[in-house]
Structure 1
Amino acid sequence: MEIPSATVSGVPDPLPEGLLVLDVREDDEWRAGHVEGSLHVPLMELGATYTELPRADQTLVVCRVGSRSAYAAGFLIQQGIEAVNLEGGLLEWYAAGRPLVTDEDHPATVL
């Protein structure tokens, strides 16, 4: 199956209404920095929790480099959810100067 993907430059800034950003990284990676407003569901939990995801026009799935998110996007598509993988992941996002936030008091980064 071909997984739809988007490059960082192809993702609108600011993010459009109706777009869910789903971060499938591990907890420590999430704490280091994430896209503001994104939803965190570690990949290993996605199979059990995908039915609880908020309704969205489209879901942009992100991870560190784009491999876990490609797997997750493929799974979501099989469940009838319109999902797109972020090519290059949050490393590319951060390198392109797109912002990341944290829930704690430290500068955001990508682990």
Structure 2
Amino acid sequence: MSFLFGRRQEAYGNLSVQEYRQRYYEPETDHVLVDVRTVGEFLSGHIPNALNIPLDQLSRRLGEIPQGKPVIVVCASGNRSRTGADILVRGGYTEVYNLKGGTMAWMMSGGKVE
């Protein structure tokens, strides 16, 4: 139905910070968290165990992200991570999620950063 109104349906899922904590972070479920912010942003504070691949490098660095695991993409607020999730889906990744609200939502919910 959204196609009729000019909006494309995303081929990836969206997770709230709470959903991410419950499904992946707290039970330590095997997954890959890809932070697509710049190196400077990443170094200023990131979710523990995140892999930093800046968005402008993501297409050429897909080989660094394991296949066969859920991949959660995060940025500062959720905008760049949506683009990153699209890139991953086009690259053949099948279980991809955008972390809604990004690291800002993570920190506002009390999540720790490294």
Question: TM-score category by the smaller chain?
Answer: 0.7 to 0.9
Residue matched to 1:91: 104
User: How far does residue 15 in structure 1 lie from its aligned partner after superposition?
Assistant: 5.3
Instruction: Work out whether 1:49 is the aligned partner of 2:24.
Output: no
Residue matched to 1:77: 89
More helix by share: 2
Residue matched to 1:28: 40
User: How far does residue 93 in structure 1 lie from its aligned partner after superposition?
Assistant: 0.4
- Secondary structure of the corresponding residue to residue 17 of structure 1: coil
For the aligned residue pairs, the C-alpha RMSD in angstroms reads 1.4
- Pair 1:54–1:96, CA change in 2 (3 A): same
8 Å Cα contact 2:32-2:65 kept in structure 1: no
Unaligned runs of 5+ in 1: 102-111
Count the aligned residue pairs: 101
Task: Work out which of the two has the higher radius of gyration on C-alpha atoms and give 1 or 2.
Answer: 2
Q: TM-score, normalised by structure 1?
A: 0.84
Between the aligned residues of both structures, percent identity stands at: 30
**Partner amino acid for 1:93?**
W
Task: Output the CA distance in 2 between the equivalents of 1:36 and 1:74.
Answer: 23
User: How far does residue 34 in structure 1 lie from its aligned partner after superposition?
Assistant: 0.6
8 Å Cα contact 2:42-2:52 kept in structure 1: yes
Unaligned runs of 5+ in 2: 1-8
User: How far does residue 54 in structure 1 lie from its aligned partner after superposition?
Assistant: 2.5
**Partner amino acid for 2:78?**
G
Q: TM-score, normalised by structure 2?
A: 0.82
User: How far does residue 78 in structure 1 lie from its aligned partner after superposition?
Assistant: 1.7
Instruction: Work out whether 1:10 is the aligned partner of 2:19.
Output: yes
Deviations 1:24-77, CA, capped at 9 Å, x for gaps? 000110010011111000000001111221335200100000000000001111
